[in-house]
């Protein structure tokens, strides 16, 4: 089984002043494949300003910058793609709008939703929540069997999300998740975001070595 796995970093629910520097410190601390801007309660103008402030921090480091929920705004604002949930509009229309840009789709704990996402041309499917999380109220619970099945059957990468930490990520890596999406494990790490990234990266490396 291919056990290469990378970090997928999602912004905190609220951005404090100085957040671009925190993002830069996180990205400079280790290997992050992508950053998703996720501001659920912010007005559209504030989201646009956040894209303007954060997109260059990621893209200048060759880290893809994705926008949550809104494929049209992702295109307008120069993002590398969008992440859409099951209630975030027409996935096929978003695929057309995004062109070569990345489209990620939430599939909860459902094989059926994941296959549908594959059919509309998603670049990755996201499964979760794997663990309890304080970042978002979740109603779906995913297990490692889903990651194992998906990685054995399909070529499209999977993203695991929900309560993931350095302490609990090993089974997800060994089950074939290509990306681990995290919020709290980085932004709420007691020693700061750089330590959060380093600790997760070390845990992924250890789990990958176990599986090899």
Ligand X SMILES: Cc1nc(C(=O)O)sc1CCOP(=O)(O)O
Ligand Y SMILES: Cc1ncc(COP(=O)(O)OP(=O)(O)O)c(N)n1
Binding-site member from 13, 20, 78, 85 for Mg ion (CB under 5 A): 85
Q: Is there a binding annotation on residue 111? A: no
CB 144 within 8 A of CB 109: no
- In the bound state with ligand Y, the residue whose beta carbon lies nearer, of 112 and 191, is 112
Binding-site member from 182, 200, 204, 207 for ligand X (CB under 6 A): 182
Tokens representing 103? 């489209």
Q: Is there a binding annotation on residue 68? A: yes
**Shortest spacing between CB 97 and ligand Y, in angstroms:** 17
Residue 184 found at the interface with ligand X (CB under 6 A): yes
Q: Is there a binding annotation on residue 136? A: yes
Which helix or strand (DSSP H or E) is residue 186 part of? helix 184-187
Residue nearest to Mg ion (CB): 85
The single residue listed with the structure tokens 């979760």 is 128
Distance CA 169, CA 163 (A): 9
Residue 13 found at the interface with Mg ion (CB under 5 A): no
| Residue 129 preceded by cis peptide, ω within 30 | yes
**Shortest spacing between CB 140 and ligand X, in angstroms:** 6
> For the chain, how many residues are written?
212
Distance CA 101, CA 98 (A): 5
Distance CA 180, CA 151 (A): 14
Q: Could you list the residues that contact ligand Y (CB under 6 A)?
A: 8, 36, 38, 40, 68-69, 83, 85, 88, 104, 106, 126, 128, 136, 159, 161, 181
Q: Is there a binding annotation on residue 90? A: no
**Shortest spacing between CB 144 and Mg ion, in angstroms:** 24
Q: Is there a binding annotation on residue 36? A: yes
């Amino acid at each position: 089984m291919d056990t290469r796995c990378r970090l997928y970093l999602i912004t905190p629910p609220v951005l404090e002043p100085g957040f671009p520097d925190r993002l830069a410190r996180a990205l400079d601390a280790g290997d992050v494949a992508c950053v998703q801007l996720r501001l659920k309660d912010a007005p559209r103008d504030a989201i646009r300003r956040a894209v303007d402030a954060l997109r260059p921090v990621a893209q200048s480091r060759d880290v893809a910058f994705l926008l949550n929920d809104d494929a049209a705004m992702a295109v307008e604002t120069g993002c590398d793609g969008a992440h859409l949930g099951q209630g975030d509009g027409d996935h096929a229309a978003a695929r057309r709008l995004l062109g070569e840009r990345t489209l990620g789709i939430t599939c909860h704990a459902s094989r059926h939703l994941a296959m549908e996402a594959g059919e509309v041309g998603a670049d990755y499917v996201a499964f979760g929540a794997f663990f309890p999380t304080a970042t978002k109220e979740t109603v779906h619970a995913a297990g490692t069997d889903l990651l194992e099945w998906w990685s054995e059957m399909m070529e499209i990468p999977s993203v695991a999300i929900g309560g993931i930490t350095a302490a609990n990520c090993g089974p997800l890596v060994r089950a074939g998740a290509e990306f681990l999406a995290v919020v709290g494990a980085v932004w709420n790490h007691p020693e700061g975001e750089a330590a959060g990234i380093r600790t997760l990266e070390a845990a992924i490396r250890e789990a990958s070595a176990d599986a090899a």
